[in-house]
Amino acid sequence: MPNWTLFGLAHGTATTDWPAAGPDAGQEGVLGMPRFAPEKCQSGCRECVEVCVTQALSIHPDDPARLNLDYGRCIACQLCVEACPTEALTASGNWAYAVRERADLHWQQALHTTEAKQLRNAVSRTFRSSLHIRHVDAGSCNGCESELQALNNPFYNLHRLGIFFTASPRFADLLLVTGSVTYAMREPLLAAYEAMAEPRWVLAAGTCAVSGGVAAGGYSSGQGLEGLLPVDVWLPGCPPNPAALIHALLVLLERAPPKVKGGRHE
């Protein structure tokens, strides 16, 4: 009969020091959202718009020479990067796209100098080092769940950050939603939110929860959380990797700043 405790101890520490110390977020080589360099964009070219499955890229309604880029719809499929003839869109390792305002996922020609939005309910000190999450899958492909489940593996070990998943929405501070919100999951999702005590927060995790993603529209799929729940943090990604999820949780808790403003990753 094997001694599992000794077996585990013999392996030593598997947990990363990131983000407190050390650079190893475990995402070496992982591609994120494409980087956009508008000065290289060739006017009148529609190559990227044609291949974009989720309409993250579109022609600007006011100016046909300009591109509209919404990272909230981007599934990081890299098709636009491959299609772009002038390298205006290039592959990047930028995956930490958590923002507090949905508008910050839209590429903006000029950066506005407005103050970063304060959280709807400022997260008090009490919650900053202890957060309980109720996850609701509102119609995902299971990719987001796969990465959420990874948060409790020995490498990320989410508990070390004082963040826990909980079964009952009554005990939860944060509703973490994945999926496009199908017609059948809409009611259970809203019921879970209603069951939560105040103060409560909402995180839209993954491009489907932000905008509907590849499933948006159609006869049974929704368009994500916009207009449905008061979202505090938006995190696009397909799926967001575990480090991006941790970063989003820390952004919510005001323990890390967002890295994206006006669609630009720092």
Residue 58 contacts other proteins per CB under 8 A: no
Number of residues counted as binding other proteins (CB under 8 A):
69
Can you state the percent helix, strand and coil of the chain, rounding each to 5?
30, 15, 55
Q: What count of Cα atoms within 13 Å lies in the side-chain half-sphere of residue 258?
A: 25
Q: How far apart are CA 88 and CA 238, in angstroms?
A: 22
| Using rule CB under 8 A, residue 139 touches other proteins | yes
190 closest CA partner among 233, 136, 145, 151 = 136
Least distance to other proteins, CB of residue 6, Å:
9
Tokens 């070390």 sit on residue: 160
For 96-164, the three-class secondary structure string (H helix, E strand, C coil) is CCCECCHHHHECCCCCCCCCCCCCCCCCCHHHHCCEEEEEEECCCCCHHHHHHHHCCCCCCCHHHHCEE
Secondary structure class of 197 (helix, strand, coil): coil
Contact between 14 and other proteins by CB under 8 A: the answer reads: yes
Question: What are 58's two structure tokens?
Answer: 């579109």
> How many separate helices (H) and strands (E) can be counted in the chain?
8, 11
Q: Which of 58, 68, 78, 90 binds other proteins (CB under 8 A)?
A: 78
Residues in the chain: 266
What is the nearest approach in angstroms of other proteins to the Cβ of residue 137? Answer: 4
Of 45 and 51, the one with the shorter C-beta distance to other proteins is: 51
Stretch binding other proteins (CB under 8 A), from 71-79, 97-105, 226-234, 250-258: 71-79
Q: Which is nearer to other proteins, 213 or 263 (CB)?
A: 213
| Binding of other proteins by 31 (CB under 8 A) | yes
Binding part of the chain for other proteins, among 69-77, 102-110, 119-127, 252-260 by CB under 8 A, reads 69-77
Binder among 64, 82, 116, 160 for other proteins (CB under 8 A): 82
Which C-beta is closer to other proteins: that of 180 or that of 234? 180
Strand pairing partners for 69? Answer: 57
Question: Could you tell me the smallest distance in angstroms from the CB atom of residue 167 to other proteins?
Answer: 4
Question: Considering the complex, what minimum distance in angstroms separates the CB of residue 74 from other proteins?
Answer: 12
Q: How far apart are CA 242 and CA 95, in angstroms?
A: 10
Q: How far apart are CA 43 and CA 47, in angstroms?
A: 11
**Minimum distance, C-beta of residue 154 to other proteins, in the bound complex (Å):** 5
Element (H, E) at 235: strand 233-235
Query: What residues numbered 171-230 form the site for other proteins, per CB under 8 A?
Result: 179-180, 182-185, 187-189, 192, 213-215, 217-222
Q: Which residues bind other proteins (CB under 8 A)?
A: 1-2, 4-5, 7-8, 11, 14, 26-31, 51, 53, 75-79, 82, 91, 135-150, 152-156, 165, 167, 169, 179-180, 182-185, 187-189, 192, 213-215, 217-222, 238-239, 241
